[in-house]
Structure formats: structure tokens, C-alpha cells
Amino acid sequence: MIYLDNAATTPMFEGAAEEYKKYACELFYNPSAGYGEAIKISRLLQEARRAVLDRLGATKGDIIFTSGATESNNLAIQGSERGGKWEYVFSAGEHPSVNNVAKSLQQKGCIVHFIPLNEDGQVDYLALEKVLNEKTRLISVIHVSNETGAINDIARISMLRDRLSPKALIHVDGVQAFCKIPFSIDRLGIDLYTISSHKFHGPKGVGALYVRNKGGLKNIVFGGGQEGGLRSGTENVAGIMAMKWAVEHTCVQENFEKVSLLKASFLSGLKLDENISVIDIGSPYILSLSFKNVKGETLMRAVENEVILGMGSACSTKQAGNRILEQLISRDKVISSVRVSFNANLSVDEVKRAGEIINREYYKLVEKI
């Protein structure tokens, strides 16, 4: 079986799984307790924060551990909300865990702007520039699109903020970027950054939010005051330590170069023609493919005994249509689309073979039509 839905989730590193077991079964102490073994765990969590900050390229700021991307995005957005006539700005290419929070703000009566995408799948920077003003409270733009792989120019957005909305916070959903593409938080100049462990070979159920200045954020979960008061609840120590292992054992630049080769090898096996088209506009980890006259779901089922493909965001597979792809391609192509996403542990032979299988099964379906 060749697994090509890594944007949905990745297999956990064996080393990370061993760390998880160690801290779940042996060093299981509650870091909020007062005895020696628990204090040691609390110190290890501080080391994990430092590891994430180092990977982010952040020389200042805090790491708030959460249950994953959805909670981190909610904390960033809801935690930034303030009363009064503040305005909130989101790209139209956001993951449901951002887009649906944005819509909830709108339903509460907040002024919310949704910025369309340009033809390259990035946020329309000119349209963004037009809505920014001194009343803008939050700008939230995804780093790498989970649907197309398009990479937004976050540094450019930061410069727009500095010039037009100096009081605004910038939140970035970095789920498909962290541990995948090279970048530095300090150079991007942002305030809040979301990561999710299971997207880079760590465990599910754990993630983090980078916060440049905790004073700009309010808590949305109340309890014992863990995580600097911003996320109460006993920390998932086993998950955090396994995530730390995954962070420290990921070679971002090396993997980026290998996945670029994997993508090219896959496309050589697939053999693009007038019936098979591809959106290849950013991160090498993600491709969106359209197959003329065949539904994407039909093709996905046809190949699933040999190749596992995705149908876009795993958080919205039960919903009709695809609001992000529909901004870039025709409705017919959207219906005929599948998502292919890689990880660096795949081989060139595997991905080339996967392309050949998809091509073969697609043309079998075409013959039946």
C-alpha cells in the first residue's frame, strides 16, 4: 500500500512512539504536582517548548501546548477577540478550523472581512491591502494551503500590517508548513502560529500555539491555570515529548529537497495529458489533481487497494464541494479532483509506481463511461 494522504495525517516515527510509551507508562507524573518526579517532568516540558521555538526560528515568545490545530486556531482567534468596533480579516483559503471560527465572529456581530484568493492560490494581497485600517484587530492567513500547497507570502502581509494596521495581530495556521518548509518566525514578523504534531510524524491529539506576546491573548479554557493561564488542563506529557522527538529528528531542508524529487517522480509516472491536470503552485508536499469525466471519489475508490489518496481537507470530507478549489478551477474540475500529499520517507520507486497505478485505473474508468 502506498500512502499519499500525508496532508491528512502522517505515520508516527517509531522513536516518537517509544517516547510516547515512556512518558505514558513510566514517567507518567503530573507536571503540576509538587514532588520531585513531577518537577522533573515540568522541566522537561520547558525543554520541549525550547525545541519548538528553536525549530520555528523564534528568539522570543512562548509555546502554549494544546490538543492540536483546531484548538490552537480557536485560541488564537477567539483569544484575540476584543469588544468595540474592531475588525477581523481572514483569507478565503483557510482550513475549516479557522474559517468556521471566522463565521462565528460574524454571527456575533463582529466586522469580518474574507479576502479572496488570486489565480496562484495565494491570498489577494491587493484586496487585503484595501481592507486593512487602524481598526483591524486580527489578520489570519494560512501559511501553506492544505488543499493546493499554495504558499502565502507572510512577510509581505506583515509589512502591510506594519504600515496600515500597526495594532493588529497576525495569526498564521502553519500546520502544513511547520517541519516541512524552511522559514523563520522572527523573519516573518508574526504574533501567533499554529502547529499540529500528527502532520509531521508525531502523535495525534497534541499541538501548539506560538505566542509572541501573551499579553495580547485571553484564555478561552478555564481551569487550573496551566500553560501560563492560557490553556488550563493537565498537559499531555506523553504527546508533547513524542512531538518534541519528531521536531528534533526532522531535517526540514533535506526533506524539502527529497519531497521535491518525489513529486517530480510521481508526475512522471502519472503522465499528465489533456485529461489529467494538476495544481502545482507551492509546497512540494501537496498536489491537487483533476481527472476529466471521472469523479474524484470514484477514482479514489478505484485505487485504494494499492494507493491511498485524499479528497482535500479531512475535516470537511462529509461536506459537498470544495470552497477553496472552487476559487481556482471550474466546478467540473473540482468534482473530478483528488489530493496527493507526500512524506519524505516514501521512495522514488513508490511514488512513480503510484502515478502509474492512478493513470492505469483512471483510463480503465474512462473506458467504462
d(CA 197, CA 220): 21
Q: Residue 261: which residues within 8 A CB-CB, separation 6 or more?
A: 348
- Amino acid in the structure at residue 221: V
Query: Is the Cα dihedral 274, 348, 362, 10 positive or negative?
Result: negative
d(CA 297, CA 336): 8
Which residue blocks in the chain are alpha helix, DSSP H? Answer: 14-21, 36-56, 69-80, 96-107, 125-131, 154-164, 185-188, 237-248, 252-270, 296-303, 331-335, 348-368
d(CA 93, CA 3): 25
Query: Is the Cα dihedral 216, 221, 224, 226 positive or negative?
Result: negative
d(CA 200, CA 185): 18
d(CA 62, CA 52): 10
CA distances in angstroms from 21 to 2, 15, 238, listed in the order given? 27, 10, 7
Answer whether 195's CB lies under 8 Å from 69's CB: yes
β-bridge partners, 73: none
| Selected catalytic residue, list 25, 179, 251, 315 | 315
H-run or E-run covering 340: strand 337-341
What is the 3-state secondary structure of 50-115?
Answer: HHHHHHHCCCCCEEEEECCHHHHHHHHHHHHCCCCCCEEEEECCCCHHHHHHHHHHHHCCCEEEEE
Answer whether 300's CB lies under 8 Å from 311's CB: yes
* 110 is annotated as an active-site residue: no
Cell 509531521: give the residue.
200
**Which residues are catalytically annotated?**
315
